[in-house]
Chain A
Amino acid sequence: MTGGTLALLIQLTLVFAPLSLAAIGGAIAVLPEIQRQVVEIHGWVTADSFMDLFALAQAAPGPNMMVVSLIGWQVAGVVGLLVATIAMVGPPALLALALGRLRARFAGLSWVRVTQAGLIPIALGLNLASGVVLAQAAHQGVTTLVLTLGTTLFVWLTRWSPLWTLAVGAVAGMAAS
């Protein structure tokens, strides 16, 4: 590993590890800051390819935060991918482990139960909001609208695997082009 690569890997860590702890509400919440760091400050990728990488991470399987993995990959290959992913995942994962254990230990306390129950509707409301924001980003006319609404009803009201509607979405998108 050359000194230059090592310096890049350290920079990747220094960018993503602090951002990971700021990402309350998910990686999407710090997306604008990731873009600023990666495109404007470090110049690792262009603004256009940043959007492309984000679209890919969203279209591909896996958590949407994997846009960070793709950026690491662009910057320093497979090692960069691993370093960027670990920097983004590691710190919050340790926190989650700690909080999960505290939660389990005190699960019997009524204020813990009430707090947990109070957080559920916020989580569901935010998830719903993410879906709507994503739908707006994907919106390109009647075809995409029908796809979004159809998938919503399909997932909401049936127990069949959503893979079917995703396949239909891909084929319909292709056919509509």
Chain B
Amino acid sequence: MRHAAPDRDRPDPSAPPSPTRLAFFLAYLQVGLSGFGGANAWMRRVIVEERGWLTEQEFAEYLGVSQILPGPNALNCAVMIGDRFHGTVGAVLALLGILGGPLVPLLGIAGIYAQFGSEPMVAATLKGLAAAAAGMTIGTALKISTRLRPGLALTAVGVCAFVGIGLLRLPLLAVVLALTPLGILAAWWSAPWRGSVQ
């Protein structure tokens, strides 16, 4: 399917060309294989920072939209980005890469764990890895936030989402439903300001 909408975030012709199917699949294989502690952080790293196929703003928009859909966010993101570049084939390639890549190491680790899981050293190694992976998730969210410079109103909505889920542990659905209108209001409030900057 062709997207009729103009590519508003990337008007300049010097923008990098769309990836080939192979390059796209390999990128998602890399996301899947390196995706310790959550694939979103790695997807941003590979697609925005390393390959430059999407801008920070474009990626954040996919992240935002995938948030209101059910299912794993990273996979929703992958499907939409795949569709953008290569239609349905791209969506399938993204899923195959991001899920198929880690399958072999995952089963290998599961096998090792079944054998040596009771060793304290294995458990301690996993804990160290998990602690670093948590830092990676936090660091990526902070990095996107500081790069987008969202302004006071949008920042306040983001802080509310963080406090509601991360600190108060409120039900997720309620928080998302309550904050979505506020987020839209905040975006509307900041829209003229954003327009004048561009």
Q: Give A residues with C-beta under 8 Å from B.
A: 20-27, 29, 52-53, 55-66, 69-70, 73, 81, 85, 88-89, 91-93, 95-97, 99-101, 103-108, 110, 113-135, 137-140, 143-145, 147-156, 159, 161-163, 165-166, 168-174, 176-177
Given contacts A62-B98, A125-B161, 19 further A-B contacts (CB under 8 A): A24-B173, A27-B72, A59-B130, A60-B109, A62-B102, A62-B103, A96-B79, A96-B80, A108-B8, A117-B194, A121-B183, A122-B161, A122-B176, A128-B162, A140-B131, A143-B128, A143-B131, A155-B140, A165-B132
CB within 8 Å of A: which B71-120 residues: 71-77, 79-80, 83-84, 88, 91, 95, 98-99, 101-103, 105-107, 109-110, 113, 117, 120
* Residues in A neighbouring B133, C-beta threshold 8 A: 58-59, 134, 138, 151, 166, 169
**Interface range on chain B: under 10, 10 to 19, 20 to 34, or 35 or more?**
35 or more
Contact across chains for B37 and A166 when beta carbons are under 8 A apart:
yes
Quick one: given A114-B187, A126-B161, A166-B129, are A56 and B110 in contact (CB under 8 Å)? yes
Contact across chains for A24 and B134 when beta carbons are under 8 A apart:
no
Chain B residue with minimal CB distance to A64? B38
Contact across chains for A133 and B166 when beta carbons are under 8 A apart:
yes
Contact across chains for B102 and A105 when beta carbons are under 8 A apart:
no
- Chain B interface mostly: helix
Contact across chains for B103 and A69 when beta carbons are under 8 A apart:
yes
Quick one: given A60-B106, A62-B39, A135-B138, are A118 and B67 in contact (CB under 8 Å)? no
